[in-house]
Amino acid sequence: MRELRWWCGPASGAWDWTWQPYVGVWLFLLAIIGAYILLVRRLGRPEPAERRARRRAVGWFATGIILLWGALDWPLGPLGAGYLASLHMVQFLLVGVAAPAFLLLGLPPETFRRIERAPRFMKLLDDLTQPIAAFFIFNVVMTVTHWPSVVDTLMATAAGSFVVDITWLLTGLVFWWPLCSPVPARPRFGPMLQVVYLALNAILIRPPFAFLLFSRYPVYATYELAAPIPGTDALGDQQLAAGIMKIGTAWIMAVAAAVVIYQYHRRKGFAQST
């Protein structure tokens, strides 16, 4: 076993498949799980009518945690942080796009009623999660955190890698909040606009995608100068990263849009039948 590391960081020598513990990742996940358990306990036993929703929420939350764990811990964590830009992008999809949606869906419905009782927090949420603001924040942060000089600076240390991961997670929460949370109420942000919100994110060509795909030479020193993994080359890996970024994001947005449309029709059908 190698030395203990708290978070995934830059490559150290050639990659091998020796398992490596990342204590910071475990503590981070345990802290989120602990906070969730505390929250659920505080909410108390749900009303019989809400028990199914509570069970479902716990399932969504567990899915979010599993996605985070898979993205941050060995082997994906160190491979993405120090060796392959394509896996760095897979991490981004998991930490910054997929997991936040599940974590938000994992909040029991009663949580939102409690949030409404905290006016200051509600005000902050209201400002941050305006769909236009959320869209802007998500895309700016996504662009900045994939900018070569930013990546090369931050991924040079475990602390920088931690900052990137946390930034992705928080930005992802902001992005999904208008879609997954009933508070603050946004009656004008209906299913049609939600689909437009998702579709715009799916089709938008962001600068990192363009330079990752079309650059003649590798743009990230982190991955270009890392010990090579047999069968990969820096430029091909970078182009694969561009594909994962574009297709992966588009696919997640498409699934989310399908869910929005399905729920809309289900609600409409339910309203017509009653």
Partner 1 sequence: MRPSRELLILLCATLVGCAPDAARSGNDRGYRGVVIPEPRAKPAFTLTDTRGEPFDFRERTRGYLTLVFFGYTYCPDICPVTMANLGAVMRELRPSVSRRIRVVFVTTDPARDTPERLGRWLRNFHPNFIGLTGDFDRINEIQQTMGLPPAQLGVPDSATGSYLVGHSAYVVAFTPDGLGRVLYPFGTRQVDWAHDLPKLLEDEWDDS
- Residues of this chain that interact with partner 1 (CB under 8 A) are 11, 13-14, 216-218, 221, 224-228, 233-235
| Closest distance to partner 1 from the beta carbon of 150 (Å) | 17
Q: Which residue lies nearer to partner 1 by CB, 127 or 233?
A: 233
| Closest distance to partner 1 from the beta carbon of 138 (Å) | 30
Q: Using CA atoms, how far apart are residues 212 and 84, in angstroms rounded to an integer?
A: 13
- Give every CB contact of residue 193 below 8 A, 6+ residues apart in sequence: 131
Q: Which residue lies nearer to partner 1 by CB, 83 or 175?
A: 83
For the beta carbon of residue 62, count every other beta carbon within 10 angstroms: 14
Task: State which H helix or E strand residue 177 sits in.
Answer: helix 158-180
| Amino acid at site 11 | A
| Closest distance to partner 1 from the beta carbon of 243 (Å) | 19
Q: Which residue lies nearer to partner 1 by CB, 148 or 184?
A: 148
Q: Which residue lies nearer to partner 1 by CB, 26 or 147?
A: 147
Q: Which residue lies nearer to partner 1 by CB, 128 or 229?
A: 229
| Closest distance to partner 1 from the beta carbon of 196 (Å) | 39
100 conformational bin, left if phi > 0, alpha if psi -120 to 50, beta if neither:
alpha
Q: Which residues are 22's β-sheet partners?
A: 5
| Closest distance to partner 1 from the beta carbon of 11 (Å) | 8
> What end-to-end distance do the CA atoms of the chain give, in Å?
62
| Closest distance to partner 1 from the beta carbon of 146 (Å) | 18
Using only the alpha carbons of the chain, give its radius of gyration.
Answer: 20
Q: Which residue lies nearer to partner 1 by CB, 139 or 232?
A: 232
**CA contacts within 13 A on the Cβ side of 258:** 6
Q: Which residue lies nearer to partner 1 by CB, 116 or 224?
A: 224
| Closest distance to partner 1 from the beta carbon of 72 (Å) | 24
Contacts of the segment 117-123: beta carbons below 8 A, 24+ positions apart: 122/183, 122/184
**CA contacts within 13 A on the Cβ side of 67:** 22
Q: What sign results for the dihedral spanned by CA atoms 208, 242, 64, 30?
A: negative
